[in-house]
Amino acid sequence: MPSSRRLRLLFVGVLAIVVMTLLYTSKLREAEELDDRTFNDFWKKTRAGLDKAHAETPDQAVVGSNTGKSGSASGKGNDDDEQLAKDMQARLKAAEQRAKDSANAKVLKPEKPEQVIGIGSSAGGQGKLAGDAGESQETEQEHQVELTINEVLKKSPVIIFSKTYCPYSKKAKDLLLHTYDVTPEPFVVELDVHPLGQQIQDKLGKMTGRTTVPNIMINGVSIGGADDIIAMDRKHELVDKIQSLGSVGGKKVDINDRRVNT
C-alpha cells in the first residue's frame, strides 16, 4: 500500500498536468481566428445567389440542365434555378397585372354625384326624368279615363256598366231593357271589350265605392248592382228611385213597367 507522501505527490502531479493542459488549450483558442459571420451575412450571400440565378434567361437555364448528366448535382441545381426563375417571372407578371387592373379601376370608376359639375347628378337626373315620364303617362291615362266616363255619362241618364260574360250583368240588362221601358234608353258599356275597361272600372270604384259589375248609374249616381235593382223591383221601389234621380240631372227619365201594361 503506497504511503501518504506518495499519494500527495501523485495528486500534485495530476493537478499540474491538468493545469498545463487547460493553459495550452486556451492558447490554441486564442490563436484561432474568430468566426464573425452572422445570419445576415448568410442571407445576403443566399440572396445574391438567387438574384444571379434570376438574371439568367430561361433558355440558358434549359441549356445548362440539358448539358449536365441527369444524376449529377449540377444538373439538379440548374433545374432548381430554372424553376425558381419561372416562378419569379410568374409572380412579377401577376403583380404587374394587378397594378394595371387597379389603375384601370381607378380610371374607369365613375365620379360621385356630388362631384359632377353642375346642379344635381346624372344618375339623379335620369331617375327624376324616368319618374316624371311615368307620372306624366299615368296622369295622362287618368285624364283620358275621366274624359271617357264623362262622355259616357252624357249618352243617357241611365248607364249600365257591364261585362258581356257576367250573369249578373245579364240580369240587370234584362230588367232595365226588357222588363221596363226606360226613356231615354239606357246606355250599356261593356267593360271587358272597352280599351280602357279596367281603368274605367277602377275609377268607378273610387267614385261610387262599387268595384264590381254591373254598376247602374242614374245621372252619375250609382244605385247598385243586379241584386240591388232586383230587390227594389220586388219592393216596387225601382220606378220611384229612377224617376227621383232622373229629375235631378236635367234630363227627365220616363220608366214604365211592361208587365203592368201586358
Number of domains present in the structure of the chain: 1
In a domain, 124, yes or no: no
**DSSP letter, residue 215:** E
In a domain, 65, yes or no: no
pLDDT band at 106 (very low <50, low <70, confident <90, very high): low
In a domain, 56, yes or no: no
For 181-220, how does the pLDDT look when each residue is reduced to its tens digit (9 = 90+)? Answer: 999 999 999 999 999 999 999 999 999 999 999 999 999 9
Percent of all residues in the chain with a pLDDT value above 70, rounded to a whole number: 68
In a domain, 82, yes or no: no
Distance CA 110, CA 215 (A): 56
pLDDT of 99 strictly over 60: yes
In a domain, 72, yes or no: no
pLDDT of 40 strictly over 90: no
Distance CA 149, CA 144 (A): 9
Q: Specify the CATH number for the domain of residue 144.
A: 3.40.30.10
pLDDT of 141 strictly over 70: yes
Which residue range is the domain that position 193 belongs to? Answer: 136-261
Q: How do beta strands 187-190 and 158-162 pair?
A: parallel
Does 38 or 169 have the greater pLDDT score?
169
**DSSP letter, residue 57:** -
